[in-house]
Amino acid sequence: MAWHDFNAEYPSESSSGYGPSWLQLITEPLENLRLLGRRAVLALLGIAVGCMAVVALLNIGYNARVQAMSVFKGMGSDLLIASIQLPVGYSGGAIPSITRLNTGVLHRYNPGITAVAPLISVNIDARLKGHTLNVTALGSGSELSDVMDLQLAKGRFLSRYDTQGTYAVVGAKVITAWKALGVRVDLGDRIQLGSYLYEIIGILKPNKHNPLLPAMVNMAIILPAERMQRIIPAPQISSVMARNPGDHAPEQTAHHLQQWLKKEMPGFDVNVQIPQQLIDGIAQQSRLFSWLLVGLGGIALLVGGIGVMNVMVMNISERRREIGVRMSLGARPRDIALMFLLESVVLATLGAVTGASMGLVVSWIFVHYSGWSSFSLSAISLPLGVGSAMATGLFFGLSPAITASRLSPVQALRDE
């Protein structure tokens, strides 16, 4: 242990600047920690690992949430999906088959809805050029393209003038499946569905799979809903999709849509789902998972804090004679407490800075090799990681510092 000029450090109380200077308060803890050697390094590593865990886990959890939200982005966060079913206990009777909705009235009734499309779905064998393929025949209207954001590779989509025609728009995977059978599909070809031939007027581009939607158009042939009775005896609208931009509250729009559908389809049970609520629930779950990870990092930080406390207790035990000399030369108890407390804070600060840097590197490597889109820094990770590490050092260094300040000079000088 290097001995200082204690008379210079603790001048007489009559002088105006009693106690150590600010420069001494900064440099002396660093010198004492350097003399501690390996023990100080191990305690620093304990704090660094804890801080690294907090920063890394917070950033990994945050990036996981960003990645999850990016997956659901564009999957219908502005959609309303109404499922339409026969009432429980229905045993057949006078409920009519409904294949058409007056969407113009709905737009006037609820201006928050920009596009709406009913869906009638049935599996059926489609025959083309001597080859048969099982597909989904999807009856809908002209606004389905806007609701599901469909893109055409060729041709055009169904229009409101096609309700009485035998026209069809074919999904991308239907084209691929027929190509695998050696059949080349093009505009103007006629597909046999049941006893009718439907002319292909459009071919869709591949549509991204969306588990939130009630229909997958990639493996579907889209027909006018009004003509579905040609291929099934009693077609019935099973769901309705509506697009609701962010300018209107989705809950209120969903309520209006439900009430309107109940009027249009009396006798049916109508339930409107809001995918945005599911997305919000996933985001909330991701946040809870992130805080769970922070809790695990906090445990690692607690272990590091105990290491700091252990080092400081051993440090005080070895420096009892130094404490006695300092007190004999005029050091006050608070000066002794401050000296050891500053050593704990310096140790925790160095560990926090080291751990924060390591945490950022670890989280970036994890995100990079996980194949996620990009690394996004969590705004709370660095303040929380560094702040909790420094608070841990302060907390666990406080008890040893108070213990050192309560030693009597005579007892400290007698210790060998």
Q: Is 121 helix (H, G, I), strand (E, B) or coil?
A: strand
From the list 291, 345, 336, 332, the residue with the least C-alpha distance to 316 is 336
- 30 & 150 share domain: no
pLDDT value at residue 21: 63
pLDDT value at residue 3: 43
- The DSSP secondary structure of 272-326, one letter per residue, reads EE-HHHHHHHHHHHHHHHHHHHHHHHHHHHHHHHHHHHHHHHHHHHHTHHHHHHH
Contact 166, 139 (CB under 8 A): no
- 299 & 403 share domain: yes
Instruction: Chunk the chain into consecutive blocks of 10 residues (it has 416) and report each block's average pLDDT, rounded to whole numbers.
Output: 46 49 63 68 79 86 78 67 74 65 76 83 89 89 86 90 88 91 90 90 86 82 87 84 73 80 81 75 75 76 76 69 69 72 79 89 89 83 85 78 68 57
| Pairing state between β 131-140 and 220-224 | parallel
- 299 & 395 share domain: yes
Query: Domain count of the chain?
Result: 2
Tell me, what DSSP letter sits at residue 3?
P
- 130 & 195 share domain: yes
Question: What is the number of alpha carbons within 13 Å of residue 253 lying toward its C-beta?
Answer: 28
Residue 296 lies in a domain: yes
DSSP E strands in 79-185: the ranges are 79-85, 115-128, 131-140, 152-155, 167-170
Could you give the CA distance from residue 351 to residue 393 in angstroms, rounded to a whole number?
A: 9
pLDDT value at residue 157: 93
- 307 & 353 share domain: yes
Tens-place pLDDT, residues 141-178: 888 888 888 889 999 999 888 888 889 999 999 999 98
Residue 249 lies in a domain: yes
Reduced 3-state DSSP string for 392-411: HHHHHHHHHHHHHHCCCHHH
- 183 & 291 share domain: no
Residue 1 lies in a domain: no
Could you give the CA distance from residue 182 to residue 138 in angstroms, rounded to a whole number?
A: 24
Query: Among residues 266, 296, 311, which one ends one of the domains?
Result: 266
* Residue 209 CB coordination number (10 Å): 9
- 155 & 286 share domain: no
Query: Among residues 216, 239, 266, which one ends one of the domains?
Result: 266
Residue 81 lies in a domain: no
Residue 178 lies in a domain: yes
- Contacts of residue 131, defined as CB under 8 A and 6 or more positions apart, other chains included, come to 178, 181, 182, 183
User: Residue 249 belongs to what domain range?
Assistant: 96-266
pLDDT value at residue 39: 72
pLDDT value at residue 169: 93
- 36 & 119 share domain: no
Tens-place pLDDT, residues 102-144: 777 777 777 778 888 888 888 889 998 888 889 899 988 888 8
Could you give the CA distance from residue 188 to residue 177 in angstroms, rounded to a whole number?
A: 18
- 233 & 145 share domain: yes
Residue 90 lies in a domain: no
Residue 80 lies in a domain: no
The four Cα atoms 80, 83, 84, 87 give a dihedral, to 10 degrees, of: -130
Which letter, b or e, does each residue of 7-38 get, where b requires 16 or more Cβ atoms within 10 Å of its Cβ? eebbeeeeeeeebbeeeeeeebbeebbeebee
- Contacts of residue 83, defined as CB under 8 A and 6 or more positions apart, other chains included, come to 214, 238, 239, 270, 271, 273
Residue 401 lies in a domain: yes
Q: Phi and psi at residue 9, in whole multiples of 5°? A: -75, -35
Query: Among residues 206, 240, 266, which one ends one of the domains?
Result: 266
Helix axes 275-318, 22-36, angle to 10 degrees: 80
- 61 & 126 share domain: no
Contact 30, 343 (CB under 8 A): no
Tell me, what DSSP letter sits at residue 331?
-
Helix count and strand count (H, E) for the chain: 12, 10
- 180 & 313 share domain: no
- 187 & 248 share domain: yes
pLDDT value at residue 297: 74
pTM over 0.75: no
